[in-house]
Structure 1
Amino acid sequence: MKISEVAKKVNLSPVTLRYYEKMGLIPPVQRQQGVREYRIEDLNWINFIKCLRQVQIPIKDLKQYTELFYQGKKTKPARRQILVKELLRLENQEQKLQATIQRLKNKIRLYDKDEID
């Protein structure tokens, strides 16, 4: 697949895809006569990185994860640790977010009951 097709499928711009490749967040894409030719494996990797970027996982962590991936199976524990660290961070954020949501709901109920000035 060409970069324009992939960009539509993953809802990212071609510029972003090139940036991800340049930064080492996605594997170098094979080229045919200088034109990027994306494979299904590339799409899967892009979707994984996109998912992690949506929750603000730092680029440096994603780059480290990708570099470790290319070093092979011996890096599985280190890669797992990166994911565990990010999961814990996200769960902590989720708890804070849920507390804020609940507080807002309570405040709105007070407005609905006209119990607030």
Structure 2
Amino acid sequence: MNISEAGRRAGLPPKTIRFYEDIGLVAPARMENGYRDFSEEDLHRLAFLRRARALGFSVEECRQLLGLYHDKTRSSADVKRLAREHLRRVDAQLSELQQMRATLAHLIDACSGDQSPNCPILADLSQTPKG
């Protein structure tokens, strides 16, 4: 199947598929005319990548996950370790976002939002970092 059909079926834009091919995550066959010819296995790989990326795994983590998926001698502990490390980073990002939200909410509450030029939001943003 061509790249448009593969993209439609895998839920990925052709540009993303070309990128995955450029970095070696997928390697479709080529027809005599040079066009890509995606197999069902390529399609499965692309769907795997789409789902892993949707869960926030980096491209390198996707490479590792694909390697583990195709390694029939793998240990599920290796997969779990990779996923657990990713979850730890997601939790750290959530914590940072919660802190960011709390700061923004505080600044919004402190701002009168009237015709006055005094604005705690701008005052906070203009502070020079300490240290």
Do they fold alike, i.e. is TM over 0.5? yes
Please, what TM-score do these two structures have when normalized by structure 2? 0.64
Structural RMSD (CA):
3.0
Contact 2:28 2:37 in 1 (8 A): yes
Q: Secondary structure at the match of 1:72?
A: coil
Where do residues 18-33 of structure 1 align in structure 2 (5 Å cutoff)?
18-26=18-26, 28-29=27-28
Q: Secondary structure at the match of 1:74?
A: coil
Contact 1:7 1:17 in 2 (8 A): yes
CA distance, structure 1, for counterparts of residue 111 and residue 97 of structure 2: 21
Q: Which amino acid aligns with 1:90?
A: V
Distance 1:22 1:72, change over 3 A: farther
Give the structure 2 partner of residue 74 of structure 1.
74
Give the structure 1 partner of residue 54 of structure 2.
51
| Aligned length, in residue pairs | 112
Q: Secondary structure at the match of 1:5?
A: helix
Please, what TM-score do these two structures have when normalized by structure 1? 0.70
CA distance, structure 2, for counterparts of residue 41 and residue 11 of structure 1: 12
Higher helix share: 1
CA distance, structure 1, for counterparts of residue 80 and residue 30 of structure 2: 31
Cα drift, residue 80 of structure 1 = 1.6
Deviation digits for residues 47-106 of structure 1 (CA, Å, limit 9, x no counterpart): 223314xx4x43222212211221125332112211110011011111111110111011
Give the structure 2 partner of residue 60 of structure 1.
60
Distance 1:84 1:76, change over 3 A: same
Gaps of 5+ in 2: 121-131
Contact 1:2 1:38 in 2 (8 A): no
CA distance, structure 1, for counterparts of residue 23 and residue 76 of structure 2: 21
Contact 2:29 2:37 in 1 (8 A): yes
Gaps of 5+ in 1: none
Quick one: higher RCO (CA 8 Å, sep 6+), 1 or 2? 1
Whose radius of gyration is greater, 1 or 2? 2
Percent identity between the two aligned chains: 21
